[in-house]
Amino acid sequence: MKRFLVFFAASLAAASAFAQPVTTSRESNVDTISVSGTGHVSLTPDRYSFTATVQTMAPTVEEAVNDNNQKVAAVIAALKAAGAKAEEIQTANFSIYPQQDYSQQQQGKPPRVIGYQVANSITVTRKQVSDAGRLLQAAVSAGVNQTSGLSFSVSDPSRGRDEGLRAAFAEAHAKASLFATAAGRTLGTAIAINELGSMQPQPRPMMARNVMAAQVVSSEVPVESGTTELTFTVSVVFAMR
């Protein structure tokens, strides 16, 4: 009976040992190398924006504002007629500046207000890139006398995310392999990978310029969207053997 109890206890101990969860451990003294990598992806823009401004001047504030309001209303109507939706048109800035005469300042007299300038800026943001030239022309023909900030962008950067991250990791791996070889070591597996984010370059604004409505022809403004480059960066920790 005693031998049976001893055998039963040993069997329980063995079963208990097999029931323990299997764990793996990493040696704390593993040599590592930390590097970063960057991947670039070129995508065709699917969104554009531009700012159109109407500037008016008149002897009084009321006259300048009324004149500006009429012209801006005409511009907005022209943009909508050209295909822009209400949610794609946004007022970007409205300002009133006194126009002053400083010619008698050297005689000790203060500047004299000779009129007022009113400026109302509208920003158009739209996803139909092919419409950019047509909407620009519509705005200018309707009374806009200053344009700025024509830019193209990618509305969904995740379109190139997978490709960009793979390229970033490949660069990090190549860099780490080079360093390991130079140190007389062999590169091991990746221990930790962190995405440092993506970046879309800030659009380069079109130089602001004044456009006289009388000189505008009816042809469409020529516009080319080109490509936009997205940048992805990762940091990777590799083991070294």
**Is 66 a domain residue?**
yes
**Is 22 a domain residue?**
no
pTM over 0.75: no
**Is 61 a domain residue?**
yes
CB 135 within 8 A of CB 77: no
Does residue 23 have a pLDDT over 60?
no
**Is 207 a domain residue?**
no
Q: Which of 75-84, 188-197, 209-218 has the lowest mean pLDDT?
A: 209-218
**Of 203, 202, 200, 197, which Cα lies nearest the Cα of 157?**
200
3 state SS of 104: coil
> What DSSP line would sit under 168-187, residue for residue?
HHHHHHHHHHHHHHHTT--E
Range(s) of the domain holding residue 89? 46-156
pLDDT mean over 3-25 = 38
Round the average pLDDT of the chain to a whole number and report it: 82
**Is 206 a domain residue?**
no
**Is 190 a domain residue?**
no
- Burial track 218-236 (b if 16+ CB lie within 10 A, e otherwise): eeebebebeebebbbbbeb
| pLDDT, position 183 | 93
Binning pLDDT at 50, 70 and 90, where does residue 104 land?
Answer: confident
Does residue 93 have a pLDDT over 70?
yes
Q: Quick one: what percent of the chain has pLDDT higher than 90?
A: 61
- Tell me how many domains the chain contains: 1
Strands of 146-153's sheet in order across: 89-101, 112-126, 47-58, 146-153, 209-210
Beta bridge partners of 119: 55, 95
Which CATH number characterizes residue 54's domain?
A: 3.30.70.2970
Q: Quick one: what percent of the chain has pLDDT higher than 70?
A: 80
**Is 69 a domain residue?**
yes
**Is 5 a domain residue?**
no
Binning pLDDT at 50, 70 and 90, where does residue 200 land?
Answer: low
Looking at residue 208, what DSSP letter applies?
Answer: P
